[in-house]
Amino acid sequence: MKMSTKHKRLHKWLLAATILVLLQLLLAHKVQAETRFVISIIDTGIDLKNETLKKQLCRNEGEMGRDKNGNPKSTNGMDDDGNGYIDDLHGWSFFDKSNDLQDQHGHGTHVAGIIYQELKQLKLENEFCFQVLKYYNSETYSPHLLQASNQSLKYAALNKSQLINYSGGGYAANKEEEFWLRQLAHKNIPVMAAMGNQTLDTDQFPFYPAGYDLENVFAIAAATPEQTRAPFSNYGKRKFDFMAPGVHIKAFGLNNSQAYLSGTSQATAKASAMVAYLVYQNQNTFDWKDLKTNLKNWRQIYSRLNKKENPEFLDSGFIQKYKTTQVDAFGEPSPN
């Protein structure tokens, strides 16, 4: 039986509509991989009302696109990538075992803001993203705090982290914590760790995770603008790597505000941005295990040339010079 002209047109229209729907489904399933350098921030979350920080969030490609039913993977209530976490598009909250990364405290937002500001000064903020791992929510103590922290380290180790900012800690070592830090070392992932704010000698009172004797852990103290140790900062010789600005540091607060905070947490955030930049610039051309030693060597060289500089001090001004000087980034200055 021959189709009428009317039926032929209807058939063509239905065919075109079907092709269009199929194309839309294919496009919906096409996922753009995350190519930015991943900085894991283990803290209190971030303020999701802050549009600047939201743009910096890493995207887990396993939770992007649509599932077989056409629903967004990021909100379908399923563990689409099989990593054990449901809808972990930007990270995970181990505080309450959810994907709610909203900061109720302010500390994590401030830390993320500092890292963002430092990267922006280097004009590289678009090359980095933040994987948010929330282990703490408020001043209220949780008996599960250490467990949540260890799970955050584990998540970072198994989910594409390239550098970890850990602006926290405590005075008790933990075998599971050390285990995951070693796993991170095997994966060439630096951990920037705060030394604490109790004016204590960490040779006598180690503060962890900064206190572990592991090559990938950078122990960071807080400095004044004059490049001297801040009065509140812990200190030590056995496990100390650098100090960075940590007094009255301006960065994002909650509800799109600005806040001034002091602490080794703030110093660690600044150091994280600087070391992340160096790893990013050289990730395919150097043995990262030499990073700490060679950065210290170059800081010593720079300090000898600029005698007012403290060789233990890192700030964005130094990194800017480090970036623009004709220098083998992990050795001595190259001849002009």
Question: Phi-psi category of 2—alpha, beta or left, where left has phi over 0 and alpha has psi -120 to 50?
Answer: beta
Model pTM score = 0.85
Question: Phi-psi category of 263—alpha, beta or left, where left has phi over 0 and alpha has psi -120 to 50?
Answer: left
Tell how strand 249-252 and strand 258-261 pair up: antiparallel
Answer whether 66's CB lies under 8 Å from 28's CB: yes
Domain boundaries, the chain: 37-324
Reading the block at residue 199, the tokens are: 């004016």
**Cα four-point dihedral sign 210, 211, 215, 219:** positive
Answer whether 61's CB lies under 8 Å from 118's CB: no
Domain 37-324 has CATH 3.40.50.200: yes
User: In the predicted model, what is the mean pLDDT of the chain?
Assistant: 85
pLDDT tens sequence across 194-216: 999 999 999 999 999 999 999 99
Residue 91: pLDDT above 90? Answer: yes
Confidence of residue 289 (pLDDT cuts 50, 70, 90): low
Q: In whole angstroms, what is the distance from residue 133 CA to residue 143 CA?
A: 18
CA angle 175, 181, 187 (to 5 degrees): 140
Q: In whole angstroms, what is the distance from residue 94 CA to residue 132 CA?
A: 11
pLDDT tens sequence across 166-194: 999 999 999 999 999 999 999 989 999 99
The pLDDT of residue 207 is 96
Q: In whole angstroms, what is the distance from residue 91 CA to residue 102 CA?
A: 11
Q: Which residue has the higher pLDDT, 6 or 326?
A: 6
